[in-house]
Chain A
Amino acid sequence: MIDRLPLSLPRTRRRHLRDRLATGLIAAGGIGVILAVLAIGLFLAVEAVPAVLGGGLEIDRIRTTLTPIAWGTLKAAFWALLFAIPLALGAAMHSALFMSPRLRARLKPTLELMEALPGVVIGFVAGLVLAPWVERHLAETLALLLMVLPAVLLAGALWRWLPAGVRRGLPLSWAGLWLAPWLIALGWAAVAVAPVMESLLFGGDLRGWLDAELGLHYAARNALIVGFAMGFAVLPSVYALAEEALAGVPGNLAEGAQALGATRWQALWRVVLPAALPGIFAAVMIGAGRAVGETMIVLLASGNSALMSASPLEGMRTMAASIAIELPEATPGSADYRLLLLAALALFVFTFLVNTLAEVVRTRLDRRYRRLGGSA
């Protein structure tokens, strides 16, 4: 043993040398890759900022070009979030606390698949199928929108008075599934009733009524369509994060509340939700980041006219869409080019900040859950 040691020494040394070399290479490569990824922000800043500071771009020009598209971006994101957040949070609450584990195990991958649907497909369906349909069937659309809330509440009220046997067959933990046919049926009814309502309330022409009574002009590709489509695209990511936050709340909190006589909903609303609030905030932030940067949906469904209108029934043009349309034609180095890079920089900074905020909040939350879970 002892006399074999010197023999193996050079081999060991070679092994260690190789190890150090490889580790160095991994480190160098890793750092290089990470720097390359981080270079994006640097590139945009280097290209756009000197032009602004050095007077290459007049402030007036920046203002007149960027204001309408910044407005459009915010407007689109606002309507998208208005649609996505209630739906995503509702779905997250239901699946984290009420849903049967079997259904939940199926639902989560399904919504993950929904997240993977390409924006161009959603945008195409929204812009070329949904928008013309809604334009032709304004009253029906309104009826469908107004129908959803009462329909669900009605289902809840009726459910309590069902015979116990039927009720066992349709438990609340599976309501996410069996409410769907109910909604289809009532949606059908709403569409059937809509023309009658239209002729009774709006003189048979809702669009003309909007124009005459409220002064709202209806454009086929408008903020509501964009909001609906983009909300659909944003929903899964908000849902996933919110659900994670809600399901991560240590179970003993809710159990304690229920032991003290709270219903499941009261326990959720008063105990679990406040505990998970930072996580839900993070989810909303991530959703906002996605909504601001989504390009294809806006391009296909918004009409792309740079309007400064607050009306949800008119279109808009967003920063991302402007970049996609104009940048290929802009000459590198020209003022237009730099303006578009400035818009890209704004998008980058906004999403980066929002995501960082969300990430920090989430890490904090994780630590808090561990403490809460540990102290029990």
Chain B
Amino acid sequence: MSLVERLRRRRPVNEGAGAWLAAGSVALSLLLLGGLLLLIAVRGLGHFWPASVALVELDDGRQLAGRAVRELPLPESGGRERLYFTGNRDLDGGVWEWLPVAEIAAQRYPGDLVVLERQRWGDFIGRLVAVEPREAEETPRQSDPEAAWVQLQARLAELETLREAREALERETIRPLARRLEADPDDGEARAALAAATASIARQTAAMSKTTLVLESVSGDRFRQPLDAVLGASRPNAMSPGEKLVAWTQGVWRFLSEGPRAANSAGGVWPAIFGTVLMVMLMSLLVTPFGVLAAFYLNEVAHQGRLTRLVRIAVRNLAGVPSIVYGVFGLGVFVYGIGGTLDEWFFGDSLPSPTFGTGGLLWASLTLALLTLPVVIVATEEGLARIPDHQREGALALGATRLEMLTRVVLPMAVPAMLTGVILAVARAAGEVAPLMLVGVAKLAPQIPVDGDFPFLHLDRKFMHLGYHVYDTAFHGDDVQAAMPLVFATALLLVLVILVLNLTAIFLRHHVGSRHAKTAH
């Protein structure tokens, strides 16, 4: 027996190419999924990390400061070029700069480079020269940047308290007064109070705009920046990792709690989070009772004949009908049909501008409730079918009526299955965007649909939605490149919400499975 033969004999059975290809497709699927999640997580969370700002000196003596974003090979000469985010849109019109790597003479990270987040013109990257009152017109003497930085931080903290006070005043005094005036235009007391409050706001605004910053870009352009348009300042090169972590946490928090700025390309997503959650909550309020009712009817009441079987198949199939079709239905029936009629009956004086005859919170929730109804019905029915028949028979044998049997025996046992169904429905609804494009999301809805005005919850208003926010910012934004990190962060948030909901549903299902296994014996 030759060596090769002996070796071969000790080898395992050859399963052939097919078995390996099958294993490979599992590996590839997992890789794709992991890659996608990793990409979203890294790009979404990385955005809030205060990245170092490089001071780049070119061969021709030009200087610029910015964050390196990416590097690509040059198509022609074979070198590489690097993309920098340089900010300062008000100075040079653009925020991006491609530089050939070969032309970069030196790259340093000086600690005095300042990054300012501003309301207009986006970020500023450069040096802070001085903080001074607005009236000082002459060009400032060369002052100490360190002192200016300390001063700036103190002023920014003051500004923050002023801003909060102003918002509180607007929210708690001005809006109720305006409402009173609207109801009764002759209310002199309210008018006087409103005038006083407005004047106080004007005073505060004036106080806020008292200070200007003298800024200098690295190429030497000097200009003045009113302090009240500055939202935040940082010196990323001078920060320790601990400080960066704190800044990162603050960045994440502001992303979650603030409204969008600069045509959705900056700021936070709070209204979108709120809109998504509110819509999903309304939807689950609608879908739970109806879905459970239909499941109980199909499984417990209806005669189990051919017709019921057909209906069951049809309901199951509706879960596979594309969501956009539900959107069309919602638009045609809810918005144009029911909404149009409601407008004619109750809101005739505001026509032709529609109240309910246009997409809004109510119609969106209804449409998504319809869309997720099959999910709830199927899940609840599965739960009902798992309840052993002897439980029902036992209850009936003890003299319970059918209603008593259903409410006291079957319903409690079916609760986990119902919950699973509702959570799956919520997870599906939170990720659906296509039908919402037809029945009621807005690109930018600064007013959230809940406020102090009667009836507090405005079902006719448009609202913002996380998924639509991703679509709109990525697809219709002016500078998609600049908005990308925020889109990634929003996408990450959406995915996280949906993953958590799904994990809850999976956990519940396992829980249900084990409980029924016990009761069955």
Question: Looking at the complex, which of A56-64, A212-220, A351-359 is the stretch in contact with chain B?
Answer: A351-359
Query: What 1/0 flags go to B299-339 for Cβ under 8 Å of A?
Result: 01110000000010111111011111111110111001000
Which residue of B20, B33, B40, B498 is within 8 Å of A155 (Cβ)?
A: B20
CB of A44 within 8 A of CB of B470, answer no
Are A91 and B471 also in contact (CB < 8 A) when A27-B297, A347-B324 are? Answer: no
Q: Name the residue on B nearest A344 (C-beta).
A: B328
Min CB distance, A82 to chain B, in Å? 14
CB of A94 within 8 A of CB of B26, answer yes
Q: Name the residue on B nearest A293 (C-beta).
A: B322
CB of B27 within 8 A of CB of A44, answer no
Q: Which residues of B are found within 8 Å of A78, using beta-carbon distances?
A: none
CB of B324 within 8 A of CB of A293, answer yes
Name the prevailing secondary structure of the A interface residues: helix
Q: Which residues of B are found within 8 Å of A184, using beta-carbon distances?
A: 31
CB of B474 within 8 A of CB of A293, answer no
Q: Which residues of B are found within 8 Å of A98, using beta-carbon distances?
A: 19, 22-23
Alpha-carbon gap, A153 to B23, bound state (A)? 10
Q: Which of B77-120 contact A (CB under 8 A)?
A: none
B196 on the A face (CB < 8 A): no
CB of A153 within 8 A of CB of B17, answer yes
Q: Which residues of B are found within 8 Å of A116, using beta-carbon distances?
A: 427-428, 431, 498-499, 502
Query: What 1/0 flags go to A89-116 for Cβ under 8 Å of B?
Result: 1110111001100000001011111101
Q: Which of A116-130 contact B (CB under 8 A)?
A: 116-125, 127-129
Which residue of A90, A128, A183, A324 is within 8 Å of B327 (Cβ)?
A: A324
CB of A34 within 8 A of CB of B311, answer yes
CB of B373 within 8 A of CB of A37, answer yes
B418 on the A face (CB < 8 A): no
CB of B294 within 8 A of CB of A320, answer no
Q: Which residues of B are found within 8 Å of A336, using beta-carbon distances?
A: none
Min CB distance, A297 to chain B, in Å? 10
A167 on the B face (CB < 8 A): yes
Which residue of A129, A286, A327, A352 is within 8 Å of B39 (Cβ)?
A: A129
Q: Which residues of B are found within 8 Å of A320, using beta-carbon distances?
A: 322, 324, 434
Q: Which of B201-233 contact A (CB under 8 A)?
A: none
Are A289 and B320 also in contact (CB < 8 A) when A128-B484, A180-B27 are? Answer: yes
Q: Name the residue on B nearest A19 (C-beta).
A: B401
Q: Which residues of B are found within 8 Å of A36, using beta-carbon distances?
A: 370
A372 on the B face (CB < 8 A): no
CB of A120 within 8 A of CB of B471, answer yes
B277 on the A face (CB < 8 A): no
Q: Name the residue on B nearest A154 (C-beta).
A: B20
Are A94 and B23 also in contact (CB < 8 A) when A116-B498, A269-B18 are? Answer: yes
B421 on the A face (CB < 8 A): no
Q: Name the residue on A nearest B311 (C-beta).
A: A34
CB of B322 within 8 A of CB of A120, answer no
Question: Looking at the complex, which of B7-15, B248-256, B453-461 is the stretch in contact with chain A?
Answer: B7-15
B347 on the A face (CB < 8 A): no
Alpha-carbon gap, A78 to B1, bound state (A)? 54
| Number of residues of chain A lying within 8 A (CB) of chain B | 113
Which residue of A27, A90, A344 is within 8 Å of B26 (Cβ)?
A: A90
A257 on the B face (CB < 8 A): no
Min CB distance, A213 to chain B, in Å? 20
Query: What 1/0 flags go to A256-275 for Cβ under 8 Å of B?
Result: 00000001111011000000
Min CB distance, B441 to chain A, in Å? 10
Alpha-carbon gap, A110 to B34, bound state (A)? 10
CB of B322 within 8 A of CB of A292, answer yes
Q: Name the residue on A nearest B358 (C-beta).
A: A328
Query: What 1/0 flags go to B118-151 for Cβ under 8 Å of A?
Result: 0000000000000000000000000000000000
Q: With a 10 A CB-CB cut-off, give which of B39, B320, B491, B499 has the most chain A CB atoms.
A: B320
Q: Which residues of A are found within 8 Å of B514, using beta-carbon distances?
A: none
Q: Name the residue on B nearest A28 (C-beta).
A: B297
Alpha-carbon gap, A211 to B453, bound state (A)? 62
A295 on the B face (CB < 8 A): yes
Q: Which residues of A are found within 8 Å of B498, using beta-carbon distances?
A: 116-118
B195 on the A face (CB < 8 A): no
A30 on the B face (CB < 8 A): yes
Alpha-carbon gap, A29 to B470, bound state (A)? 38
Are A161 and B30 also in contact (CB < 8 A) when A127-B474, A156-B19, A351-B322 are? Answer: no
B72 on the A face (CB < 8 A): yes
Which residue of A40, A160, A172, A178 is within 8 Å of B321 (Cβ)?
A: A40
Alpha-carbon gap, A159 to B328, bound state (A)? 54
Query: What 1/0 flags go to A343-376 for Cβ under 8 Å of B?
Result: 0100110011011100110010000000000000
Q: Which residues of A are found within 8 Å of B32, using beta-carbon distances?
A: 232
Are A265 and B24 also in contact (CB < 8 A) when A19-B404, A112-B506, A113-B502 are? Answer: no
A176 on the B face (CB < 8 A): yes
Q: Which residues of B are found within 8 Å of A34, using beta-carbon distances?
A: 294, 297-298, 311, 315
Alpha-carbon gap, A39 to B329, bound state (A)? 9
Are A332 and B434 also in contact (CB < 8 A) when A263-B13, A359-B317 are? Answer: no
Query: What 1/0 flags go to A174-201 for Cβ under 8 Å of B?
Result: 0111111011100000000000000000
Q: Which residues of B are found within 8 Å of A128, using beta-carbon distances?
A: 474, 480, 484, 487
CB of B321 within 8 A of CB of A30, answer no
Q: Which residues of B are found within 8 Å of A76, using beta-carbon distances?
A: none
B432 on the A face (CB < 8 A): yes
Q: In the A-B complex, list the 9 residue pairs whose CB atoms are closest, starting with the nearest.
A: A293-B322, A30-B297, A118-B431, A90-B25, A176-B26, A156-B20, A152-B24, A175-B23, A179-B27
User: 29 A-B contacts, Cβ less than 8 Å apart?
Assistant: A15-B404, A18-B401, A33-B291, A37-B373, A38-B318, A91-B26, A94-B23, A114-B29, A116-B431, A120-B433, A122-B36, A127-B474, A149-B24, A156-B19, A160-B12, A160-B14, A175-B23, A176-B27, A177-B30, A179-B23, A183-B24, A289-B320, A290-B322, A299-B475, A300-B474, A324-B438, A327-B331, A348-B325, A351-B322
